[in-house]
Amino acid sequence: MEVFRVLHMNGGAGDFSYANNSLLQLKVISMTRPIAEEAISSLYCSTLPTTFTIADLGCSSGPNTLMAVSQLIKTVENIRTNLCNNPIEYQVFLNDLPGNDFNAIFKALPNFHENFKKEMGADLGPCLFTGVPGSFYGRLFPSRSVHFIHSSYSLHWLSKVPEGLEENKRNIYMAETSPASVLKAYYDQFQKDFSLFLRCRAEELVDGGYMVLTLLGRSSEDPTSKECCYIWELLAMALNDIVSQGMIEEEKLESFNLPKYMPSPTEMSIEIGKEGSFVVNRIQVSKVDWHVYNNNDESNGLRAGGYNVAKYMRAVAEPILVSHFGEAIMDELFIRYGEIIVDRMAKEKPEFVNVTVSLTKMK
C-alpha cells in the first residue's frame, strides 16, 4: 500500500464525507485550543512579525480546516488590537496529502473571507491562503519561513505500513494477540517517522517558532492498551465477520495492516529529546468520549451514537480500506461495525485519548 497515494479522508459533502462527519475532530480542536492560544500569543508578543506565517498540517477538508486557522488568527488579532499595533498580513499554508479534497477548501474560501472580514472588522490585514499538497514526512516549506505550525489528529498516521507484520494474522493494528515482533515493527516506524517530521519542521520554522501538535495517543506505556487499540480491534472483528461470510478471503485480511501509531507522551518526548531542536513547553493528555454526538436520549441516543461512531470512522478509514479490499464490501462492513460498536457502547464508555504537545524551536 502506498500511503502517500492512497490515504485521504472521504471528500465531497455526501453522507459519508469527512466534511459531514468530523465533529469528533472539531471537539478535539476546541478542547486543545487553550494550548494553541497560549503558544501563538507568546509567539506574537515575542516576535511582532508584520507577516505572520501559519501552517496547518493534515488539514483535510470541511468545516474544521478553516476553523482551526481562523481561531489562531483571531487570537493574534485580539492581542494586536489590544496593543494598538498596525494590521499585519497572514500567510496561511494548508497542507495535506495530494488525494485530499483541496478543491472543496478553495471553493469555501470566498465565503470564508467575506464572513471573516465582517466578523473581524476592516482592520484585519490580508489573509493569504495557499494549499500545499505533500507529505509532512518530507520538506514542505522553505527554510526558516514559518512562524507557527499546527496539526490536529493527523500525525498518528505513519508514512507507510511497517515492514515485518506477517505474523499479525487477523489483527489490523497492534492488539493483545500481536507478537512482540509486530509491536517492535510499529514502534520502529513511529520513531523513524516522528524524528523525520521533527527534522523537517526544525528546518522550516524560524528560530523561536512554535509548533502545537495533537495526535491520537494513549496515556499507558502499553502499545496494545485498549485506550488506543479498541476502536481498531472492533473494525478487525467486523472484517473477520465479513471473512466468515465469505465476502473476502482470509489471506486478504491477513495481508492488511493500518499505517498508524498512537504514541504515549513518553514515546513522543524521547524522540523530541533525541532530535534536539525543540523545547517542550507542555505535553498534555486529554480524553474525548466516542459518543461525541451525545444527545442524552438514553438508549435511542446511544444506538444512534454507535452508528455515528461507525460513520465518522468510515469517513476516515474508507479510502484506505477500499484500496485493499475493494468497494463492494464497504456498506456491509460498516453496518456490521456499527452493530459491534452499538453493542460495546451499551456496556462501556470508551474514550479516545489525545496527546497534545507544544514546542518551541530553539535559537
Q: List contacts with ligand SAM (CB under 6 A).
A: 7-9, 22, 25, 29, 57-60, 64, 95-97, 100, 135-137, 152-154, 157, 159, 316
Output 11 or 223, the one with its CB closest to ligand SAM: 11
Distance CA(195)–CA(216), nearest Å, equals 17
> 86-124 burial, b for 16+ CB within 10 Å, e for fewer?
eebebbbbbbbbeebbbebbeebeeebeeebeeebeeeb
Output 258 or 359, the one with its CB closest to ligand SAM: 258
Closest residue to ligand SAM in the complex (CB): 58
Output 35 or 97, the one with its CB closest to ligand SAM: 97
Output 90 or 312, the one with its CB closest to ligand SAM: 312
Sheet holding 351-361, edge to edge: 127-133, 89-96, 51-57, 146-152, 205-216, 351-361, 278-289
The DSSP line for 25-41 is HHHHHHHTHHHHHHHHH
Q: What is the DSSP letter of 168?
A: G
Least distance (Å) between residue 197 CB and ligand SAM: 8
Distance CA(288)–CA(328), nearest Å, equals 32
Least distance (Å) between residue 271 CB and ligand SAM: 16
Output 55 or 175, the one with its CB closest to ligand SAM: 55
Least distance (Å) between residue 224 CB and ligand SAM: 22
The residue whose grid cell reads 485506550 is 227
Output 27 or 303, the one with its CB closest to ligand SAM: 27
Grouping H, G, I as helix, E, B as strand and the rest as coil, residue 183 is helix
Nearest to 269 by CA among 359, 136, 200, 353: 359
